[in-house]
Structure 1
């Protein structure tokens, strides 16, 4: 079984659906509400676990009702928690608005206890990181934790993936330690200054990311799939449709978790990206974030069809 270690945040997602976001001072009647598991790190760990990998998640939680949602979610997906519980902090939470018409979303996240994740959390799990096939991180927790995790993993020959969300300026030493960086279009623009709106501009952004020091970029393009871009190749991997789009909230996390799984199993990068596109394609046909991630049999069936 492939071994994946994820560093990241759990957040209880408060999901509101409606026709539009309210203006300041305005109240808008919504159409639906749900409370469920979220946070990019947790979502990506859950996505990988549901696809059959041996996954450990390094994070921090409060001691509250939202923490129970986290543990229940991880148990269902087969994710092993590597958790520090902080009774003085709260478990992370996120406000998610989903547009009824388009399925697009807007998000505010408060990491809570996971906002205190640091290098000491990585050092506590150092042997776990060194023994992984893939180490996966995002940027909802402090950058110092991601720096420490990626450095230890890279030093041990572990494949490293950074999903740079939310986007921020990244130090050169972190970029050099990455095997893959996986921004979406807006994150690629924030990192490079190149507005991504088609394959040609995605390749320009990919070149800019390579110039910053990364080995390879996988720029996700929504329904259009993804661009795998390195010094040796630049290949478009088309999106994989699994039905009408209902909610895009968890698509990027499903992609990253699936990409990590395929790489950990020895898949060639383009094959791994196609597997990830199929997982994302299934994810958008369902509501929710972690709850929308597909099982392995579903992804295999979609690709086989």
Structure 2
């Protein structure tokens, strides 16, 4: 039976995390409102700017804002960026950082400058390999209900331990700059409950020509396969229930697309843990990721229940939004009684 997602701040007798995450954390500095890309010798003034934690923090904040107990294993630099990100994640977002570590002096938190351009973004990053591997951060995985991970060609020991203990693994994958699209990545899907690549990655790894064909291949490898399609929405198959679903993207003005895919993944996990039908899970994830691009930053742009509730109130009062009311009518029974306020805009922190 499906149920509403847990409300923020809820407590139970079980302290196990709902979501376990590990990966590389970044400090993101986001510029929006560029008329054109910069060229050598030119200075461009932008109309907007924000900053906040990025990388794996996008997933952590998005999950936590839907009331999920979220445990993050990452590495913070002993620098301004690391201290700021730790403060935001622990004190403001309520994320458990007991599995995280601070790097020795000399290793700095990776920094990414994101330039929002025409509905997409260009990234400039400086960073180094972290001093601790994911297996060193998570030697003995806690009994989490789910784990949301980025998989690569190299297996991670902790992931097999977590899957064997009953943790449902939701996997994403990054772009392969070598364009080899190693089959070792897909072999790791035997550990996974769900796989959520974007359409370019899905077609590349499956050697297919369409997102639909890629989805059919992936559905044979993992119980739940999802292919995200940007402005074309998303498609998914759940082999455990025999469901197929499609969801259209929102018609929305994009301020900053940084982290939209991460918000999609965290929202899909949250709806899955609540037992929703596949069509609702997919629409909810598309909605949350769509709302996130209206704000600066992937992490601090995540809408949470407050942002979803504010959008739903607006749609419910709009006579021209009949189609959205039908598509998202399930939210009337899902939104908590006290969803909290919409998230604040990502701040510009002092350097």
Same fold (TM over 0.5): yes
1:253 matched residue in structure 2? 262
Which is strand-richer, 1 or 2? 1
Distance (whole Å) between structure 2 residues aligned to residue 192 and residue 26 of structure 1: 43
Query: Equivalents in 1 of 2:294, 2:30: separation in Å?
Result: 16
Q: What is the TM-score of this pair, normalised by structure 2?
A: 0.73
Q: What CA distance in whole angstroms lies between the structure 2 residues aligned with 1:70 and 1:228?
A: 34
Task: Report the equivalent of 2:199.
Answer: 185
> Residue by residue, what CA displacement relative to the aligned partner does 1:175-195 show, whole Å, maximum 9, x if unpaired?
211111111122223322334
How many Å separate the matches in 1 of 2:130 and 2:175?
A: 15
Q: Quick one: structure 1 residues 172 and 252, their matched pair in 2 at CA, closer, same or farther if it must change by over 3 Å?
A: closer
Decide which of 292, 295, 305 is 1:283's aligned counterpart: 292
Aligned 1:23-172 pairs, distance under 5 A? 25-32=40-47, 34=49, 36-74=51-89, 75-81=91-97, 82-87=99-104, 88-99=106-117, 102-112=118-128, 114=130, 116-123=132-139, 126-128=140-142, 131-138=143-150, 144=154, 147-167=156-176, 169=182, 170-172=184-186
Q: Distance in 2 between matches of 1:267 and 1:179?
A: 15
Mean alpha-carbon deviation: is it higher for 81-90 or for 105-114?
Answer: 105-114
1:290 partner SS: coil
**CA spacing shift, 1:172–1:189, aligned 2, 3 Å:** closer
SS in 2 for 1:14: strand
Say which SS state the counterpart of residue 153 (structure 1) adopts: helix
* Max Rg structure: 2
Task: State the Cα deviation string for residues 259-282 of structure 1 (Å, max 9, x = none).
Answer: 121222233333222221121121
Match of 2:271 in 1: 262
- Is residue 217 of structure 1 aligned with residue 225 of structure 2? yes
**Gap change, CA 1:30 and 1:7, over 3 Å in 2:** same
Deviations 1:145-196 (A, max 9, x none): x63343122212211111212345344541211111111122223322334x
Check conservation: 1:6, 1:137, Cα contact below 8 A: yes
SS of the equivalent of 1:80 reads coil
Whether the 8 Å CA contact 2:244–2:278 is kept in 1: the answer is: no
Counterpart-to-counterpart distance in 2, 1:214 and 1:132: 20
Residue correspondences, number = 288
SS in 2 for 1:138: strand
The answer on 1:234 being equivalent to 2:244 is yes
CA displacement at 1:111 relative to structure 2 = 4.8
Query: For residues 12 and 205 of structure 1, do their structure 2 counterparts lie closer, same or farther at Cα, with a shift above 3 Å needed?
Result: same
For 1:198, the equivalent position in structure 2 comes to none
Q: Distance in 1 between matches of 2:76 and 2:119?
A: 29
Query: What per-residue deviation string (whole Å, max 9, x for no partner) do you get for residues 3-23 of structure 1?
Result: 111112210112234233345
TM superposition shift of 1:236: 0.8
The CA deviation at 1:134 is: 0.9
Farther-moved stretch of structure 1 (161-170 vs 84-93): 161-170
Equivalents in 2 of 1:206, 1:27: separation in Å? 44
Superposed CA offset, 1:43-86 (max 9, x none): 11000111111001111121000012211221212211121111
Query: Of Structure 1 and Structure 2, which has the larger fraction of its residues in helix?
Result: 1
